[in-house]
Structure 1
Amino acid sequence: MKNTLDRSIKKADAAAYVIYDSSLNPDMRYMTGFTAGDSMLYIKHPDRRGTLIVPQMEKDRALSESKCDVLSRGDAGFFDFLKTETDPYTAQARMIAEIAGGNVLVPHNFPIILAKELEKFCEVRIDRGSIEEMRSVKSADEISAVRRCQKATDAAMEFAIEMIKNADSDNGELEINEVPLTSDYLKSEIECFLLKRGFTAKDTIASCGYETAMPHATGDGVILENEPVVIDIFPCEIKTGYHSDMTRTVVRGEPSSEIEDMYKCVYDAKMHAKSLIRSNVTGKFLYDAVMNFFEENGYMTETEGFIHSLGHGVGLAIHESPSLSPSGKELQSGNIIAVEPGLYYKKHGGVRLEDIGLVTDFGFDCFTQYKEELRI
């Protein structure tokens, strides 16, 4: 996989690959090993180390932390070009073209304004995910990072569910110390729990009741007894940038018979999918297997029911290759994937369960250890 980018550059008849972005772009962080909030330039020629171009104030840190050759913008000639070009994008494009030495290959999310300026000096070709393909097969260090993140996620889930379990009830509305236990409060407590341990989480889901029928409703209002609560946590380890992802559905009290039946079917569907996972199986095959499982058990899979993909890759991005969907391609040993079947009905609510683990030649090495029980 490590030569995928070089092959793509050569296939495109380009001289170099160029990224212009901050390290919030997973491809930039993956290729450079460097984190910065401002946009930087990464230029990669085939069969050579990549070059990272940063502001002068970041040069020493980049030399210490990145896995690239490092130049300041001054070293790269930007300020010389800026003397003759009134537009800084034009100056930057001239700098890139001179360092690249020919046509350039850029990712699909490359800034269009810079691409237009580059076209004055060379041809610009668009790459379709070469670095994401490289990122999809994890190294031992990457696998360890995701395992650490999932261990923290297990602990955060236990913390959240214990909070619901031990809350007082006021006519079916849960409260802690006579203060309503709301979705917002629960999410903030989960995120603070993780932050204290070196992980960030955002857009955490803690939905309740009718909200659970909307897969990505984050939750609003008081957590209720006898209603489904979907908790979906997908934090990132601050130090490494690697994510994990898990979901549990619980009911404090007595679930409806419909939710109870849905839960059993979703659990069985997840176990069925996990039993089929191994390298060379396609994401489409796994998705279709779960779709058929739900239909055989009497659940709709169109406008309601199972209305999203079965899962996705996880790494420096929370959603990345491979996909467990109708377009899902062959899995490879070293992929880390989340498996998350769910059923959603406006009349009854929703149920989702999600585990994460490693694809191997022989099966699925599940990282998620937290128990599964509907009633708490």
Structure 2
Amino acid sequence: MSTPTGPETLFQARRAKLAALGTVALVPGANLRYFTGLALHPSERPTVAFVRGAALLIVAPELERPQLEAHPDLGASVLTWRDDEGPEGAFRRALGELALAGELGVDASAMRVSELLLLQRLQPGLGVRDCTRDLLRLRARKDEAELLAMRRAAALSEAALEALLAQLEPGLSEREIAARLTNALSAALSEGHAFAPLVQTGPNSALPHGAVSDRRLRAGEPLLIDFGGTCGGYPADITRTFCLGEPPAALRRLYEVVSAANRAAVRAVGPGVPMQEVDRAARRVIAEAGFGERFIHRTGHGLGLEVHESIPQLAEGVLDPLEPGMVMTVEPGVYLPGFGGVRLEDEVLVTETGAELLTHSPHRLQLP
């Protein structure tokens, strides 16, 4: 198992923080990218990186070797396997080198049962422990390079939104609006999409996790858009609600309440603040307006290499304190079946003294 020598790289420094966890197995996904810089994709071919402090041993298919060799500062021992021989030999050699005496730490949210069973078949009696939250805690506080990428992702996403708004007109379907937003993100040089854009019109906007349909936009009804581009592997996550033409009084009232709840939650953010207090700040505004029963989800979630990260989590009962460097969404919403919904989602950074908005698109309901 290779321990790198020479100047410490960013990724070696990150891996060194895992030392207290013993040996940890990482599979393709956010944690592998964060601790190694490798943006490998999960496939039917198993790939596992074993981390022990700064030391790194990677078992991967032979076809991934070019990508591994493109990272000469990785400081890793690499064992590859070909399709005609299968993975067992390489993993058996890796387990021999590791000589595990205790449990193997795993990211239970990402490691597949097939990969775990392979390891346990090759080393009967191998014990594992769930390190998911330990890994997330290390990723929760963003460094300056991460924040730069996240600011750029938010900025290009908002530029794409502005371009889309200039194209909106009654009669466009949700699917057509989503396609135009996808094109606008590409034109803004987004690396990809944080997730498939969610566009909901009229009563469809009352479904927080609905799907894009062929329903056509009409004037005077809600248009909810939840989307994000990416930069440097980091996604944006933004929601805005609009209305083409004059909004009915009920929609305007709903929008004002949700916007006030969003602002109250952002004001509540700061270092040392229990996470549930941010949720309570938003929920209090909505409840006092008489819509408490229609705010049916948490106020926000962590944001980083993954769109949804569970640290921080802005929800009732979460007493963990916010820490400088954490980034989260603040996204209160109210949903009225048969009428529609309003959600306003911003990205917020916890600073040493309070909060900083990473999103700057204004809260505005009415479009010409």
Q: Which interval holds the TM-score relative to the shorter structure?
A: 0.7 to 0.9
Out of 340, 352, 357, the residue aligned to residue 343 of structure 2 is 352
Structure 1 residue 43 and structure 2 residue 50: aligned? yes
For residue 64 of structure 1, what is the aligned residue in structure 2? 70
- Structure 1 residue identity aligned to 2:225: I
- Secondary structure in structure 2 of the residue aligned to 1:50: strand
Q: Is the 8 A contact 1:4 1:131 kept in 2?
A: no
Among 315, 333, 353, the alignment partner of 2:324 is: 333
Correspondence for 2:282: 290
- Residue 267 of structure 1: CA displacement? 0.6
Residue 178 of structure 1 corresponds to none
1:234 paired with 2:234, answer no
CA distance in 1 between partners of 2:291 and 2:136 (Å): 35
Deviation at 1:28, TM superposition (A): 1.2
Tell whether the 8 Å contact from 1:342 to 1:353 is kept in structure 2 after alignment: yes
After superposition, where does 1:61-210 map in structure 2 within 5 Å? 61-65=67-71, 68-74=74-80, 88=86, 90-102=88-100, 103=102, 104-108=104-108, 109-120=110-121, 121=123, 122-164=126-168, 167=169, 174-175=170-171, 181-196=172-187, 197-201=189-193, 202-210=195-203
Q: State the 1:227 CA deviation.
A: 0.4
Shift of 1:370: 1.4
Indicate the SS of the match to 2:235: coil
In 1, the alpha carbon distance for the partners of 2:242 and 2:76 equals 50
1:325 partner amino acid: A
Q: CA separation in 1, counterparts of 2:159 and 2:356?
A: 19
Distance 1:194 1:99, change over 3 A: farther
> Which residue of 202, 205, 210 maps to 1:217?
210
Shift in Å, 1:248: 0.9
**Distance in 1 (alpha carbons) for counterparts of 2:331 and 2:72:** 35
Q: In 2, Cα distance between the equivalents of 1:62 and 1:117?
A: 23
* SS of residue matched to 2:253: helix
Following TM superposition, by how much is the alpha carbon of 1:99 offset from its aligned partner in structure 2, in angstroms? 2.7
Moved more, 103-112 or 138-147: 103-112
Deviations 1:36-87 (A, max 9, x none): 33552211113x332333333433432333753334434xxx67xx98xxxx
Q: Secondary structure in 1 aligned to 2:245?
A: coil
Percent of aligned positions that are identical: 24
Shift of 1:92: 4.8
Tell me how far apart the structure 2 counterparts of residues 310 and 116 of structure 1 sit (CA, whole Å): 38
Distance 2:208 2:130 in 1: 33
Q: What's 1:318 paired with?
A: 307
Pick from 10, 17, 31 the counterpart of residue 24 of structure 2. Answer: 17
For 2:296, the aligned partner's letter is I
CA distance in 2, matches of 1:370, 1:127: 37
Pick from 49, 53, 56: which aligns with 2:59?
A: 53
Structure 2 Cα separation of the partners of residues 294 and 45 of structure 1: 48
> Structure 1 residue 32 and structure 2 residue 32: aligned?
no
Partners of 2:56 and 2:77 within 8 A in 1: no
**Structure-2 residue corresponding to 1:170:** none
Which residues of structure 2 form unaligned runs of 5+?
A: 1-12
Q: Which of 291, 296, 307 does residue 299 from structure 1 map onto?
A: 291
What TM-score comes out, normalization by structure 1 length?
0.84
Find the aligned partners of 2:236 and 2:279 in 1 and give their Cα distance.
21
Please state whether the residue corresponding to 1:371 is helix, strand or coil. coil
- CA, structure 1 residues 327+53, in 2 after alignment: closer, same or farther (shift >3 Å)? farther
Conserved 8 A contact 2:283-2:292: no
Pairwise CA RMSD? 2.2
